[in-house]
Amino acid sequence: MKSESEFHAATVEEAAIKAAADLGLPRAQLRFHVLDEGSTGFLGIGARDARIVVELDELQSENVSAMREEHTAEWISEPLTEEHSVPSAEFSENVAPAERGHAASDQVPEDLIVAVDEFMTSLLDGMDIDATVDAYDAGEVIAVDVATKEKGLFVGRKGETIDAVQYLSNVVVYKSRAFTKKIVVDAEGYRQRRVEALQGMAHRAARRALREKRSLSLPPMSAAERRVVHLFLRENPDVTTYSEGEEEGRRVVVSPA
């Protein structure tokens, strides 16, 4: 019995790579058909994502389901339904409740670093992305730096592909070993630049909300990106933030205090 899963991204190829990362399958083994090739629109107006449906045979479907069922712990998922209302201690990057007492600065065993490096290298090979991988203990997290000429393809639209790769890395590496530190995958400083861009957007929105004395809605974001905005603006006593919307349409609203 076959099952189907739908994926979307800026292009068909990005959607396929995102699907491969999310499902834990080599890109070459994906069987899919295109629902919509997407469009860049005219000057950005009328743009829409490409959409594909991936077909899984019974064994593949069972393997994917087992992987997700065994590893849907809070520290791996996108948590916090109302990010702005949670005390700052709860904003720690997806760390499991059972692990919050763990000293994040403890040294990571060398065999774990090797396992992370080898998994990422094999995953990128399976995705047909030519890249070099550098995994190391960064103190709070296990960092994985990926250098590739196909950075845009690896990151994906709004970081969807790199986030899927990061999720899969945590799932697979910690499948048979105790959790130590979250694995964070980056591509030549992409995540820091994204954080800085989000903070800039939040700052401008706060100034405008105060100037116009009204609430402003930011573009839809992932839970991790919304968290960045909430944390950044929490230091501003003149504004408040909250999230509204559902699923991919969920966004941060900035209001005068």
When pLDDT is cut at 50, 70 and 90, the band that residue 11 belongs to is confident
Report the pLDDT averaged over residues 78-89.
Answer: 35
Predicted pLDDT at 41: 56
Does residue 16 or residue 56 have the better pLDDT?
Answer: 16
Across the chain, what does the average pLDDT equal? 77
- pTM of the full structure: 0.59
What is the fold of 81-188?
GMP Synthetase; Chain A, domain 3 (3.30.300)
CATH number assigned to the domain covering 192-256:
3.30.1370.50
Where are the domains positioned within the chain? 3-68, 81-188, 192-256
Is the model's pLDDT at 81 over the cut of 60?
Answer: no
* Chain segment 181-192, per-residue pLDDT in tens: 899 999 999 988
pLDDT at 95: 33
3-state secondary structure the chain: CCEEEEEEECCHHHHHHHHHHHHCCCHHHCEEEEEECCECCECCECCECEEEEEEECHHHHHHHHHHHHHCCCCCCCCCCCCHHHCCHHHHCCCCCHHHCCCCCCCCCCHHHHHHHHHHHHHHHHHCCCCEEEEEEECCCCEEEEEEECCHHHHHCHHHHHHHHHHHHHHHHHCCCCCCCCCEEEECCCHHHHHHHHHHHHHHHHHHHHHHHCCCEECCCCCHHHHHHHHHHHCCCCCEEEEEECCHHHCEEEEEEC
> Does 228 or 72 have the greater pLDDT score?
228
